[in-house]
Structure 1
Amino acid sequence: MIGIVVSGHINFATGMGSAVKAIAGEQDQMAFIDFVETMSTEELEVALREAAKQVDDGEGVLFLTDIPGGSPCNRAMSILMDTDNVELLAGVNLPMIANAAFEREDSTLPELVETLLEIGHSCLQDMRKELQAMMAPEPELECEDGL
């Protein structure tokens, strides 16, 4: 099973961990690492490396971070650059993280990355437009022969 490490600023990771547990139940090989004010970026990287080792059973590790270019992303990028079978997605949301828990057992690491990217793109919605589309009247069908 693919190991997953979720990281983000302040309580992003542990908050997502609580939500994932409520949605998908307790998860093996999944770690949630917060980057809090009292941590240096070096300490964050040490924690991320240790978490990756703990969740990896040989099928790879996927890092999921909050902000592209933020410290959790940048430190996970350092691990990506010097560690085999590691991938990183930044800018993730709860649907992506929860689905990672559901999809990782029957996927390869590259397949899981693609699936989560699709989910991330599809779950961002303008709800006013969605509501307006639902409330729009059905167009009348024209029948040439009067039936």
Structure 2
Amino acid sequence: MIGIVVSGHIHFASGMQSAMQAIAGEQKQMVFIDFTETLSTDQLEILLRQAVAEVDSGDGVLFLTDIPGGSPANRALNIIMDTPKTELLSGVNLPMITNAAFEREECSLSELVEALLEIGAFSLQDMRKQFEAALQAEHETGNKNGL
């Protein structure tokens, strides 16, 4: 199973952990690391490296971080540069993290990365446009359904 390390600024990781566990339950080989004000970037990298060792069962490790170019992403990038079978996605959201938990047993590390990129792009939606399109479709079909 692919190991997952989620990290981000302040309480991003622990917040995502709480939400993800409400949806997917407790997960093995998944670690959440907050980059709080009390940590230096060197300390963060040490924690990230320890997390890789903890979650890696041989199928690889995927880092999921909050902000591209932020300290968690930059320090994870240091790790993937010298650690085989590691990948990094940055700018992740809850649908991506939850789907990573569900899909990581059934695919390779590269397949999981591709699937999560698709989920990330799909999960960002303009809900006003979605609603207006639904209203327009109902109007065109003559199906009012109380609207």
What TM-score does the superposition give when structure 1 sets the normalisation length? 0.94
The aligned residue for residue 14 of structure 1 is 14
Q: Secondary structure at the match of 2:130?
A: helix
The Cα shift of 1:138 comes to: 1.9
Q: Paired residue for 1:55?
A: 55
**Are positions 1:68 and 2:68 aligned together?**
yes
SS at match of 1:138: helix
Distance 1:81 1:65 in 2: 16
**Over residues 71-129 of structure 1, what are the superposed CA-to-partner deviations in whole Å (9 max), with x where a residue is unaligned?**
00000000010000000000000000000000000010000000000000001000000
Q: Which residue of 2 aligns with 1:138?
A: 140
Which runs of structure 2 are paired with 1:1-147 in the superposition (5 Å)?
A: 1-136=1-136, 137-138=139-140
Q: Which runs of 5+ in 2 are unaligned?
A: 143-147
Q: Give the unaligned 5+ runs of structure 1.
A: 141-147
Query: Identity of counterpart residues, as a percentage?
Result: 68
Matches of 2:28 and 2:100, distance apart in 1: 12
Q: Shift of residue 134 of structure 1?
A: 0.6
- Superposition deviation, residue 139 in structure 1: 5.2
Counterpart residue type for residue 114 of structure 1: E
SS in structure 2 at match of 1:102: helix
Q: Distance in 2 between matches of 1:110 and 1:76?
A: 17
What TM-score, normalized to structure 2? 0.94
- How far does residue 36 in structure 1 lie from its aligned partner after superposition? 0.1
